[in-house]
Structure 1
Amino acid sequence: MTTSSSPSQANPDPQLELAIDGTTPTKKHWIDRLHHAGWTVFHHAQKHTGVGIVCSVAYFDPGNWGVDLQAGSQYGYKLLFIVLLSGLFAAFLQVLACRLGVVTGLDLASHCRILFHDRPRHTKLWRWAVLYPLYVLSEVAVVCTDLAELLGSAIALTLLFPALPLWGGVLVTGADVLLILALGNPLHARPAKVFEWIIAALVLAVLICMAMIIARINVAWGQAFDGFVPSKTLFASGALYTSVGILGATVMPHSLFLGSHLATQDRLSKISLVPVSPLSNKAQELEPTGVASRRERFQYLGRVIWQQLRSLFIVSRAELEALNARPKSYEHRENNPLEFVQSHLYHGMVDMVSSLLGFAVIINALILVLASAVFYYGSGAYGSESPASLSDAHALIKNTIGQAAALLFALALLASGQSASLVATVAGQSISEGFLNWKVSPVVRRLLTRLLGLIPSMTVAIVVGPNGINFLLVASQVILSIILPFIIFPLICLTSSSRIMRVRKTAPEHTVVSPSVEASSLPAITLDSDPEKIQTEDFVDFSSGKLMTSLGWLIWSVILAANLYVLVTLGMGQGG
């Protein structure tokens, strides 16, 4: 008599077998899926993370510290709503800049040149009435930004080393441009990972230092979270001036230019686009051969080093050809391929939003909470008559919390200033390249950009001294807020245009569509293309929809209205 076996015994399924560790099949299946998902997230984060962190630095620079300390010391937690609102505005605008760079392969400054430099009618009028004034405003924004960052870093150095004069601190912190020169060109077609890692380390240093300081003070967290709700305090005397300062310190014009430029980089290609340095080749030729004397080898090596340094300040023929090949109109260029856009766009948007909300908004909120807890509600209650400065905050933290907390405060301020200063210098390079097509080397562009901020910073440090620094920090951020609508206007117009933001579903024949080219100038119509086929060819539209465009214009209107209100109140003598 044969016994009948169950179906599971007769037909065993290998996928239903128990794992060695005794886990059930379903559990093992989910563990494998989670493990795979974790590695996928890590792989994508490793490739695509970087632009958001670099851009987020501009949103908690020393200018932010100045206005956040003033807001917290005068109005308590009430202006935390402005910090949150400004962070959301910044995230939205940076996403627009990211979309513009990824889809078109050109940065915002280059788009402005295409729009206004070679107009078919009234060419000179468009150049001198629109393009060049817009470039001047952009450079003023970089100077105001660099002014705040150099002065903030100099104050941090004087807090760490009291014997160091303020102008000496400006000179020391101005030398960070040498670090950028050593990193190569962060605006290359491929990302400079060393530059991004340095910025990320400085950002984490700021966040960790601020978190450690907040952990050592008494914060009324219930009142603090109520500050994220709008209140009538926003319209109090002087509060709107400070609010506009927070807005200008948070939404930085130069960061929009830099974010759009970094978004054009190819973050997936494994082909190295960095040429081999001729110095390494010459060094290999100078291996001891027994023919040349040691003195001759050292002389030859010296000449090679001199030629290498000299080449940094001279534009190569390849760079000149790239400048001359830049498109002069939208009819003579092609956007990035669809595969490039799909593999970079959404990763870049997530990176940007998470970095701004996860670093910039939190750090700004912590600075304002610190000022509120220590000055407005604590023993240093300044009230609404005397806003706190960076030196005041350091002194009071040292007296009430301790030397360690004061040291952390100075280190956080120094890290934010240095990181933001590096980013502002690179942004200045992007602005000058895009607007003017400068035929000078990136090293010269960075040196000139740094001098534009270093000279007024030195003047302020010598003439004004430490007492007027906080006023200048807040005033510089208000100037940035006034400039901001002029920069946002072309950004919204460009990203809402379906003609500019469309991408072909399939690339034209005999057309090179490598996304790694820094400024693509590919022809829209090839020699063997059929015009009727071109007209009916399908495109994918990546322009902003009606909702996104309406939201962009609403943000632009809010910023413009706040700026006009502040200008009117200042003219009437009622401002902050």
Structure 2
Amino acid sequence: MNTTSVNSIHTGSVDPASSGAFRPWPSGRRGRLRSAGPGGRARWSSFFGAGALVSVGYMDPGNWATALGSGAKYGYQFLSVVLAASLMGLLLQWLASRLGVATGRDLAQLCRERYSRRTTIVLWIACEMAIIACDVAEVVGSAVALQLLLGVSLSVGVLLSAIGACAMLALQSRGQRALQVVVCALIFFVGLCFVVEVALANPSWHSALAGVAPPAALLRDAGMIWLAAGMLGATVMPHNLYLHSALVKQHARAGDERSVLNAMKGVNIDTFVSLGLAFLVNAALLIVAAAVFHANGHYEVDDLADAHRLIAPLVGTRWASIVFAAALLACGLNATVTGTMAGQVVMEGFLRMKSARWMRALLTRVCAIGPALLAVSLYGEHGSNQLLIFSQVVLSIQLPLAAIPLVRFGSDAGLMGVFRVKGLALALAWACVAITLVLNAALIWQMAVYL
């Protein structure tokens, strides 16, 4: 991929319009795409994989940190936040994939073409900051998992996690499908681990069901606001919106209504199934924290190392801690892939700068390893969780900078044609943006008060 566009990340083909002027739907692009067969009929298997790559960002170590902290402190109450964040993420990812399929362009390219250069640079910098914040969380989470499994120091774990991430990304040299198979296998492994953890935790399902209702103190309690913002940022990652639109944009011929409709059906199934599984993993993590820690009076367990140390004696088997650490490592390794791929997408989309996979992987590793090593050297293992949650809060604050252009473009009749988002879906999309802005405003106000 040294000379081809990141448009080929998912399909392996080159975007014929990557260097030309953008033509809105329905004039479209010419040429047959790999995901489209004769008569615009899709080869359905080609549509699956993008959702899995995107979903790993919904269960990365940042999600673990926020879910553990909220489950231990507030019990099952934050299940409502997990559900709301997952539904918001599903809606925005659906909109991102719809935008990519209908226009044949990704969100970063559309921002560059429709906004001023100054606005484009601001959006690019914000997105790069989000990727770095997310990558720091993944490196630290993987380092903690390696420390728990192998007994190495956190500093060594940080370096080993970087090597593991590069090994995962090296799978792309064997084709995109090989990487997708490994990612899906790790997702399946994580899901199996949480089936075991939930069975061992023996939660109160009546209390879990009651936790779906939002707590009344959510916008009054500073601790709740902090965790809720972190959970929102950990679930709905801004760079995932750019990535998803890029991964699916070559599934159809823009302007060919039949081709676009077929592609949207396959992409929607892929998105709904993948993010549905991610929601189950996040909900299971919070349920385990509530059933094991909160129910036994350990309300201040907000650290991955403490959770690992306490889960075995509280559950009654050492396998609980082993499964916990193994699943954390799998999530951390998986999430590093999407961060690097998203970095390629935004750099090429916003700046038209192409980079080799190894170069982008090296850049993201360097940007993540520095802050991660500094954090673990200053605060040790018990400061890692605060770093994880802080990184997710950064993502939450930056989310509107990606969501607002996404909703605007997705509802633009001139750009989307008959596939524009309207009615209830559009109202819900703007409601997601409004909720994010309100939550971030409450968070910033609380921070100002306490500082």
2:286 maps to 1:368 = yes
The separation in 2 between residues aligned to 1:184 and 1:204, in whole angstroms, is: 20
Does structure 1 retain, via aligned residues, the 8 Å contact 2:139–2:369?
yes
Match of 1:28 in 2: none
Deviation of 1:443 (Å): 2.9
Does structure 2 retain, via aligned residues, the 8 Å contact 1:67–1:246?
yes
Change (3 A) 1:223 1:336: same
Q: What pairs up with 1:18-417 in 2 under 5 angstroms?
A: 46-116=45-115, 126-128=116-118, 130-162=119-151, 164-184=152-172, 192-237=176-221, 238-266=223-251, 335-357=254-276, 359-378=277-296, 381-383=297-299, 386-401=300-315, 402-417=317-332
CA-to-partner distance for each residue in 1:331-365, whole Å, 9 max, x for gaps? Answer: xxx935334312211211121012112x1111111
SS at match of 1:570: helix
CA-to-partner distance for each residue in 1:195-231, whole Å, 9 max, x for gaps? Answer: 1111101111111001101111221111011101223
SS at match of 2:178: helix
The separation in 2 between residues aligned to 1:366 and 1:264, in whole angstroms, is: 33
Does structure 2 retain, via aligned residues, the 8 Å contact 1:102–1:336?
no
Change (3 A) 1:336 1:415: farther
The separation in 2 between residues aligned to 1:377 and 1:51, in whole angstroms, is: 38
After superposition, the CA RMSD in angstroms is 1.9
Change (3 A) 1:372 1:233: farther
Does structure 2 retain, via aligned residues, the 8 Å contact 1:100–1:106?
yes
Deviation of 1:550 (Å): 1.8
493, 498, 515: which is aligned to 2:408? 493
SS at match of 1:335: coil
Does structure 2 retain, via aligned residues, the 8 Å contact 1:429–1:446?
no
Does structure 1 retain, via aligned residues, the 8 Å contact 2:242–2:346?
yes
CA-to-partner distance for each residue in 1:370-395, whole Å, 9 max, x for gaps? Answer: 111111112xx123xx2421111111
Higher helix share: 2
Count of aligned residue pairs for this structure pair: 408
450, 459, 465: which is aligned to 2:380? 465
Match of 1:437 in 2: 352
Deviation of 1:547 (Å): 2.4
Q: What pairs up with 1:481-520 in 2 under 5 angstroms?
A: 481-502=396-417
The separation in 1 between residues aligned to 2:144 and 2:302, in whole angstroms, is: 14
CA-to-partner distance for each residue in 1:68-99, whole Å, 9 max, x for gaps? Answer: 00100110001100000000000000000000
Does structure 2 retain, via aligned residues, the 8 Å contact 1:375–1:388?
no
The separation in 2 between residues aligned to 1:206 and 1:236, in whole angstroms, is: 34
CA-to-partner distance for each residue in 1:514-548, whole Å, 9 max, x for gaps? Answer: xxxxxxxxxxxxxxxxxxxxxxxxxxx11101322
The separation in 2 between residues aligned to 1:208 and 1:336, in whole angstroms, is: 42
Deviation of 1:451 (Å): 2.1
Change (3 A) 1:179 1:218: same
Give every structure 1 segment of 4 or more consecutive aligned residues whose post-TM-superposition deviation is greater than 4 Å: none
2:167 maps to amino acid: L
Does structure 1 retain, via aligned residues, the 8 Å contact 2:56–2:187?
yes
Does structure 1 retain, via aligned residues, the 8 Å contact 2:54–2:240?
yes
1:573 maps to amino acid: Y
Change (3 A) 1:168 1:474: same
Percent of residue pairs identical: 36
SS at match of 2:218: helix
The separation in 1 between residues aligned to 2:146 and 2:184, in whole angstroms, is: 21
Deviation of 1:150 (Å): 0.6
Deviation of 1:174 (Å): 0.6
CA-to-partner distance for each residue in 1:238-286, whole Å, 9 max, x for gaps? Answer: 212211111111101111111111112449xxxxxxxxxxxxxxxxxxx
Change (3 A) 1:198 1:466: same
SS at match of 1:234: coil
Change (3 A) 1:439 1:372: closer
The separation in 2 between residues aligned to 1:397 and 1:75, in whole angstroms, is: 17
SS at match of 2:203: coil
402, 418, 437: which is aligned to 1:560? 437
Does structure 1 retain, via aligned residues, the 8 Å contact 2:301–2:307?
no
The separation in 2 between residues aligned to 1:114 and 1:180, in whole angstroms, is: 33
Does structure 2 retain, via aligned residues, the 8 Å contact 1:485–1:556?
yes
SS at match of 1:393: helix
CA-to-partner distance for each residue in 1:108-144, whole Å, 9 max, x for gaps? Answer: 111111112xxxxxxxxx322x111111110010011
SS at match of 1:565: helix
Structure 2 unaligned residues grouped into runs of 5+: 1-41
Match of 1:324 in 2: none
CA-to-partner distance for each residue in 1:273-318, whole Å, 9 max, x for gaps? Answer: xxxxxxxxxxxxxxxxxxxxxxxxxxxxxxxxxxxxxxxxxxxxxx
The separation in 1 between residues aligned to 2:130 and 2:156, in whole angstroms, is: 24
TM-score computed with the length of structure 1 as normaliser? 0.68
Match of 1:521 in 2: none
Does structure 1 retain, via aligned residues, the 8 Å contact 2:94–2:268?
yes
Change (3 A) 1:360 1:439: closer
Deviation of 1:48 (Å): 2.2
SS at match of 2:346: helix
SS at match of 1:174: helix
Match of 1:548 in 2: 425
Structure 1 unaligned residues grouped into runs of 5+: 1-42, 117-125, 268-333, 503-540
Q: What pairs up with 1:409-428 in 2 under 5 angstroms?
A: 409-428=324-343
Report the structure number with the largest CA radius of gyration. Answer: 1
Deviation of 1:440 (Å): 3.5
2:339 maps to amino acid: A
2:161 maps to amino acid: T
Deviation of 1:169 (Å): 0.6
2:368 maps to 1:453 = yes
Change (3 A) 1:440 1:242: closer
Does structure 2 retain, via aligned residues, the 8 Å contact 1:66–1:470?
yes
SS at match of 1:572: helix
The separation in 2 between residues aligned to 1:472 and 1:205, in whole angstroms, is: 26
Deviation of 1:439 (Å): 4.1
Change (3 A) 1:439 1:430: closer
Deviation of 1:177 (Å): 4.0
The separation in 2 between residues aligned to 1:363 and 1:482, in whole angstroms, is: 24
